[in-house]
């Protein structure tokens, strides 16, 4: 009988088990009585001892008759479970599809050689994924059927559900064919579409010269920027999380000459944001955020003029280990300085003074040293060096110092508090040589000191 431990309560209620359970109940009564008599050795007779042993033998015999070969069933169950766990996951064709779209883009811009290479590679890799999945699936289907047959030959009844393969409802072949169809349609469209052909035929020589001059005008002039592009409708930004729009091309178009590497740093620092999202302030769409686990040091903010569609952005990062110095950098339009936007107040509130540039990547203009409860210039231990290099640990250190001040003001036994503080500090200096240890130490100390500040009792902690 196949039954798991959690299903035993259901097993004993089955009708075919009742006769066995009733017989065992009667035999257990005899054995229990004999055991009670055995407490007093002098009062139990030899006949009673024999009666008790016979009852015990009978129980063992009945259990053995109903047990079956459990060892073989356990092995069959383990084999079946291994086949189920080895069942392959459905292939994901997203990567191949994206590469094929990139190939279609190169076809669109008339780079046929590279476009065809990407299309052939994407198709070949997709076919390889599908073939590998189908081959492994067919092999495991046969092995699973054999394991199920072995299981069936050993089991009398199933109370617990046996390991079973997942229901395959993903239609892998259909998805693969759908991707191929879409890819083929896009590739054909990229080959036959000719952008601006009609405009080139209809345009007069004067119009062509005019268009060329507009593109060649310098972007630093406000009038030329207005001629080149009309302000985008930015109302959709209000209330959005910066992390959700930072890579949207409509959003990125607001900023001038931000290199890809710098943009990634900005995006990383807009991951954590408050619930208010992007807000309209004094005619600017303003948003801010910070980097996960580094909100004490690595931040970013932007402001986009609602009328012109131009945006400035600044970010702050920790560099220069082991000094743990935080520096700021920014990018702005020449005719819209950061000082003229809400970013000026934001920079001041974050201890930054910066002259942003529209150049591709300017050098940081100012820095902020991490604040701790001790002088990092005199750091000696591993723990102190780690704290001075890590913005989150530095913030924990400052917060713990404030909590300690509250605890010190609350307790009457200052000597006991000093002794406890010395003991815990020594433990940190001698035992903590990595970040994880320091994170746990600060969390524990904050909990204990908070309780001391609330109760005024050092000994209870």
Q: Reply yes or no on whether the pLDDT at 322 is more than 60.
A: no
What would the mean pLDDT of 30-52 be, rounded to a whole number? 67
Over range 165-192, report the average pLDDT.
79
C-alpha 407/C-alpha 275 separation (Å) is 33
Contact 256, 333 (CB under 8 A): yes
Residue-wise pLDDT tens digits, 362-385 = 333 333 445 778 887 788 888 888
When mean pLDDT is compared across 17-21, 41-45, 174-178, 252-256, the lowest value belongs to 41-45
Average pLDDT over residues 192-206: 44
In angstroms, the CA 222 to CA 308 distance is: 10
Nearest to 237 by CA among 307, 150, 323, 304: 304
Contact 93, 172 (CB under 8 A): no
- How is the chain split into domains, by residue range? 5-67, 73-192, 235-369, 376-455
pLDDT in tens, 56-103: 787 777 767 766 666 788 888 888 888 888 888 888 888 888 988 888
Task: Kindly report the average pLDDT of the chain as a whole number.
Answer: 77
Nearest residue to 394 via CA among 377, 369, 421: 369
State the residue for tokens 């997942």.
166
- Predicted confidence band of residue 169 (pLDDT cuts 50, 70, 90): low
| Structure tokens that stand for 177 in this block | 């064919």
Cβ-contact 103, 187 below 8 angstroms: yes
Q: How far apart are CA 370 and CA 376, in angstroms?
A: 9
The residue written with tokens 């995006």 in the block is: 267
- If residue 333 lies in a helix (H) or strand (E), which one and from where to where? none
- Among 200-209, 406-415, 428-437, which stretch is predicted with the lowest mean pLDDT? 200-209
The angle subtended at Cα 397 by Cα 396 and Cα 402, nearest 5°, is 95
Using CB atoms within 10 Å of the CB of residue 290, give its burial: 0 to 12 exposed, 13 to 18 middle, 19+ buried. Answer: buried
Residue-wise pLDDT tens digits, 273-309: 888 889 988 889 999 999 888 887 789 999 999 988 9
Q: Name which CATH class applies to 235-369.
A: alpha beta
pLDDT of residue 278: 92
Residues 418 and 401: their CA atoms lie apart, in Å, by 14
Q: Which of 187-196, 198-207, 229-238, 270-279 has the lowest mean pLDDT?
A: 198-207
Residue, of 51 and 384, whose pLDDT is higher? 384
The DSSP secondary-structure symbol of 2 reads B
pTM: 0.33
Cα–Cα dist 303/278, whole Å: 9
Strand partners, 303: 286, 312
Q: Are 289 and 271 in contact (CB under 8 A)?
A: yes
Question: For residue 88, what is the DSSP state?
Answer: P
**pLDDT of res. 427:** 93
């Amino acid at each position: 009988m196949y039954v798991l431990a959690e299903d035993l309560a259901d097993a004993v209620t089955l009708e075919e088990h009742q006769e066995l359970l009733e017989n065992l109940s009667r035999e257990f009564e005899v054995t229990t009585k004999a055991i009670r008599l055995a407490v007093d050795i002098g009062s139990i007779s030899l006949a009673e001892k024999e009666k008790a042993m016979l009852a015990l033998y009978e129980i063992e015999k009945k259990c053995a008759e109903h047990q079956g070969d459990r060892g073989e069933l356990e092995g069959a169950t383990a084999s079946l479970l291994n086949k189920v766990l080895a069942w392959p996951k459905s292939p994901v064709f997203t990567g191949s599809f994206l590469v094929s779209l990139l190939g279609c883009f190169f076809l669109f811009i008339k780079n046929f050689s590279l476009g065809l290479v990407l299309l052939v590679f994407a198709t070949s890799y997709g076919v390889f994924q599908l073939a590998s999945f189908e081959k492994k699936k067919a092999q495991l289907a046969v092995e699973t059927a054999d394991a199920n047959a072995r299981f069936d030959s050993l089991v009398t009844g199933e109370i617990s559900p046996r390991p079973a393969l997942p229901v395959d409802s993903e239609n892998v072949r259909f998805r693969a064919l759908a991707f191929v169809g879409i890819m083929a349609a896009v590739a054909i469209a990229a080959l036959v579409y000719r952008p601006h052909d009609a405009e080139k035929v209809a345009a007069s020589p004067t119009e062509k010269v005019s268009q060329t001059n507009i593109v060649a005008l310098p972007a630093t002039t406000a009038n030329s920027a207005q001629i080149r592009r009309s302000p985008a409708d930015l109302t959709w930004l209000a209330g959005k999380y910066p992390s959700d729009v930072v890579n949207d091309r409509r959003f990125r178009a607001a900023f001038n000459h931000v290199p890809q590497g710098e943009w990634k740093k900005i995006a990383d620092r807009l991951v954590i944001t408050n619930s208010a999202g992007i807000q309209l302030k004094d005619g600017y769409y303003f948003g801010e955020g910070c980097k996960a686990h580094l909100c004490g040091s690595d931040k970013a903010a932007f402001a986009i003029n609602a009328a012109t569609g131009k945006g400035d952005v600044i970010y702050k990062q920790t560099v220069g280990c082991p000094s743990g110095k935080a520096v700021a950098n920014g990018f702005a339009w020449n005719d819209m300085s950061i000082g003229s936007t809400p970013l000026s107040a934001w920079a001041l509130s974050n201890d930054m003074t910066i002259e942003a540039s529209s150049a591709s990547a300017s050098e940081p203009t100012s820095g902020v040293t991490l604040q701790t409860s001790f002088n990092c210039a005199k750091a000696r231990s591993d723990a102190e060096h780690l704290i001075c290099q890590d913005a989150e640990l530095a913030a924990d250190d400052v917060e713990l110092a404030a909590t300690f001040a509250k605890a010190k003001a609350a307790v009457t036994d200052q000597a006991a508090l000093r002794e406890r503080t010395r003991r815990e500090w020594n433990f940190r200096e001698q035992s903590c040589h990595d970040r994880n240890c320091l994170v746990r130490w600060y969390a524990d100390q904050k909990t204990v000191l908070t309780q001391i500040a609330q109760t005024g009792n050092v000994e209870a902690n």
